[in-house]
Chains A and B, each alone.
Chain A
Amino acid sequence: MSTHAVGGHAATARSASGTRRSGDGRDRLFRRSVTGVVIALALLWLVPIAWALDTSFKAEPDTIKIPVNWAISHFTLSAYSTDFSASDIARWYINSAIVGVIVTVLTVFAASMAGYALSRQSFLGKRVLYVVILAGIMIPPQALMVPLFREFQAVHAINTYWALILPQVPAPIAVFIFKKFFDGQPIELDQAARIDGASWWTCYRRIALPLARPAVAAVSIFTFVWTWNNFLWPFLAATNQTMMTIPVGLGTVIPGTGITNALQMASAVLGALPLVMVFLLGQRQIVEGVAGTGLK
């Protein structure tokens, strides 16, 4: 009787540990599969970047050799020196930085205030206004280029910072992000501040905005990156070399004929370099910001 019982317990224990082992095996397989997929996706993204970097250090004739070869037979910085010598690249960097920073500051300021008002205030036409703003997300920016160009041309603002900055400030998606973020903040904080004697402006500036740091970080990063990389509008709004931003200016360095692979890749690297540096410096805040707002 007792032997039987012991055997029974042992069998149960074995079966439990067997289940655990098979569960562990499934977990391990799942983890490995996920890692494999992540590595494959990372390669898909990284290979073109590595290829651009690799090509930018080659002489032009080496870039079209068949079979395609990663090895650099003659390391040269000639593509970079062409970019620097044949252009006003320092000026373009400054222009991009000015436009990027001002657009980012204005976007965060305007969108957060709009988001706060939509989240906390009640006013006539609020719903309609919100729907109109949301509809703005659906309109492709390209559709607005010609009317915008006409508008700025009419006020003689082409080739000015105003033309480069103002059309890039209204960002419906940023208003949406801020509104959603403020919706998630306890309304009692604002109410406590209002009873404490604060105006709406003080509630926004001293309570709501400091608590919306993740949203501010995410919107700032994405606005800056988008503005830095934006090509079409600056291409239309800045025809004068001295007003060009990096993506537009570097495009003018590349001649229309001949082999220009190395030059094109060097230009791409130079254009992306400041963003990579910004990312490396603010990696933690960027990741937190993206995680905090669910943006990607």
Chain B
Amino acid sequence: MAEMSLKGLCKRFDDGTLAVDDLSLEIGDGELMILVGPSGCGKTTALRMIAGLEEISEGELWIDGEMVNYLPPKSRDMAMVFQNYALYPHMTVRQNMSFGLEQAKIDKAEISRKVDEAAGILDLTEHLDRRPGQLSGGQRQRVAMGRAIVRDPKAFLMDEPLSNLDAKLRTQMRTELARIQNQLGTTTVYVTHDQIEAMTLGDRVAVMRGGVLQQVASPRDLYERPSNLFVAGFMGSPAINLFRARVERETLSSPLGEIPLDRRLRDALGQAGHAETVVVGLRPEHLMDAAITEPPHEGAVAFSHDVGVLEAMGAEYYAYFDLPDQPGMDVADTAHDPDADPAGQRQGKQLIARLPIDSEVREHKPIELWFDPGRLHVFHPESGERLSDVASEPHGR
């Protein structure tokens, strides 16, 4: 097990591309740290720098109090699970799992014992004499895990290890992976572009964009207090609703209606300076069907709107509403990155609500909705930085 400290890590490639820019991160002993972000955000490059597969252009990497910038991969005592598993195709499962131990010149009997033990944990005992080509995707993934855990390294580095599996197997292996990491308590750095994986697996999650760290926090904090528009848009599925609101004297004038300014919102607007508009975010689950749930207090904002597309998801509905075009009020003008919108929503132009399956919502029919202004996230109109704190105890909750 190990503590890691990334101090201002930078990676500049020969062509001048700055893949990782000033990444600073403290990873605790036994912690499962997730690096998440869209393609090309630098998360894999950061992981490869930790592994020693990429040279560090600037900054320092400390592992257990030792600066390891110039140590080759084999001297860092880490095990890595690759996206494509990188199993040696000409070797059996046993040989694959033994390879690292053989390099460490461990006694043959001890190697055999460790491999058998790891195979037992991963349910691979029957497959030890098979080659990777004879195994299913899930079994290969487990062999890759086995190859890592058998070495009992200081840390596991995992580069999108579940992305080659089908959806069902991915969910199953995600649980399995969490169980193993919990059981072993080994420090793990896990790279993924899948925010659900990040939310469910990580002790803490580091969100990256364009090589720059956006926020490091627990999954819950990340979801409830995103530090900027990018994080707000990236975390959560369906994505958060984002729209512009005009700052009036006593209210925020939004496409959903006039939102009265309480103390929290006034404080937030105070940080925005003299901005005429702000970007407001509202999670789809915080839009309520008035026919099912009564607004609990006077501060709630109610509005009626025609439903556009309706998707029945089994346990709930995703109801989409088209917002009227507002010239000069496009969210895309802010720092929000449309790539970070996993639901493909047209941010600022469409609204999505997660409604319970017993809702009477119907396509192309009007529906009355309400939301608690305490649930609103307010962002700076230009920088996209967070201005508000979600009320710790929202009204009516």
Contacts and interface: CB of A to CB of B under 8 A. Distances in A.
A113 B225 CA distance: 54
A198 B104 CA distance: 9
A186 B89 CA distance: 11
Q: How large is the interface on B (under 10, 10 to 19, 20 to 34, 35 or more residues)?
A: 20 to 34
A196 B84 contact: no
A167 to B, nearest CB: 34
Given A192-B80, A192-B82, A197 B103 contact: yes
Contacts of A191: 51, 53, 73, 80, 82, 86
Nearest to A189: B86
Interface of A: 186, 188-189, 191-199, 202, 206-207, 210-211
Contacts of B78: 195
Main secondary structure of the interface of B (DSSP, over half): loop
Contact of A188 (B72, B79, B84, B90): B84
Interface of B: 51-53, 72-74, 76, 78-80, 82-84, 86, 88-90, 99-100, 103-104, 147, 151
Contact of A210 (B74, B90, B99, B100): B90
Contact of A192 (B72, B76, B86, B90): B86
Contacts of A186: 84, 86
A191 B83 CA distance: 12
Given A211-B89, A211-B90, A197 B84 contact: no
A195 B90 contact: no
Given A186-B84, A202-B103, A194 B53 contact: yes
A191 B147 CA distance: 14
Nearest to A202: B103
Given A194-B73, A198-B99, 17 more contacts: A188-B82, A188-B86, A189-B86, A191-B73, A195-B51, A195-B52, A195-B53, A195-B73, A195-B78, A196-B74, A196-B79, A196-B99, A196-B103, A197-B74, A197-B104, A206-B99, A210-B90
Contacts of A197: 74, 100, 103-104
B309 to A, nearest CB: 40
Contacts of A198: 74, 99, 103
Contacts of A196: 74, 79, 99-100, 103, 147, 151
6 contacts: A192-B86, A192-B88, A195-B51, A196-B74, A196-B147, A202-B103
